[in-house]
Amino acid sequence: MDLDKAIHSRTSVKKFKSKKPDWRDIIECIDATRYSPKAGKNFTLKFILVDDKNKIKKITEACQQDFIADASYVLVVISDHSRLKNSFGNEFGKKYGKQQAGAAIENFLLKITEKNLSTCWIGFFTEKQIKRELKIPESSNVEAIFPIGFGFGNQKKKNPIDLDNILYFNQYGNVKMKSPKGFVD
């Protein structure tokens, strides 16, 4: 699948088939995260791939979203910003860690799409419950949770935001780009 097709077809899926994907395909998707931008060459993410149904049930409860229980796997993305904080200070270390997580997660999502697997980015959860269930160190942050499986049925088609509503030139609110000769296009 080419990149444009993966970008345009990626969608959040909340219904999964009972067929279990090959876990090695998910590992390839996780591997794609290693190629994302890294502040100070520090990769701060770790991943826990869960297929234990009892643990998935506990994760589902911590997220308060029942559809997660139907997934074959759940990927929990965690980070430890301590090295970034040591290098860049507390405020920027935390900021760069969040940026890195977002970039790495997008690589993961595009690779999941390429593999014809489905997921949904879960950002709402009780972090203490997740940490307790998966024995995640208190110093780490749970960044996101991804139920993974084969999507069931037709998914809603995306309606992208009109580019004219989000793109400005040279300053906020300026919707015109000057041509090289100084004329407004």
Per-residue pLDDT band at 22 (split at 50, 70, 90): very high
Which candidate, 25, 65, 13, 82, places its Cα nearest to that of 49?
25
Per-residue pLDDT band at 178 (split at 50, 70, 90): confident
Is residue 167 in a domain? no
Neighbours of 70 (CB within 10 A): 16
pTM of the model: 0.88
Is residue 146 in a domain? yes
Is residue 185 in a domain? no
Question: Any idea what the CATH number is for the domain that residue 41 is in?
Answer: 3.40.109.10
Q: What's the pLDDT at 183?
A: 55
Phi, psi (deg, nearest 5) at residue 74: -130, 130
Is residue 166 in a domain? no
Is residue 93 in a domain? yes
Is residue 183 in a domain? no
pLDDT, averaged across the chain = 91
pLDDT digits (tens, 9 = 90+) for 57-81: 999 999 999 999 999 999 999 999 8
pLDDT digits (tens, 9 = 90+) for 91-124: 998 999 999 999 999 999 999 999 999 999 999 9
Is residue 162 in a domain? no
Is residue 173 in a domain? no
How many residues can be counted in the chain?
A: 185
Provide the strand spans (E) within 81-185. 118-119, 141-149
* CB contact at 8 A, 103 and 96: no
Structural domains in the chain (count): 1
Domain that holds residue 50: 3-156
- Supply 40's token pair: 């100070």
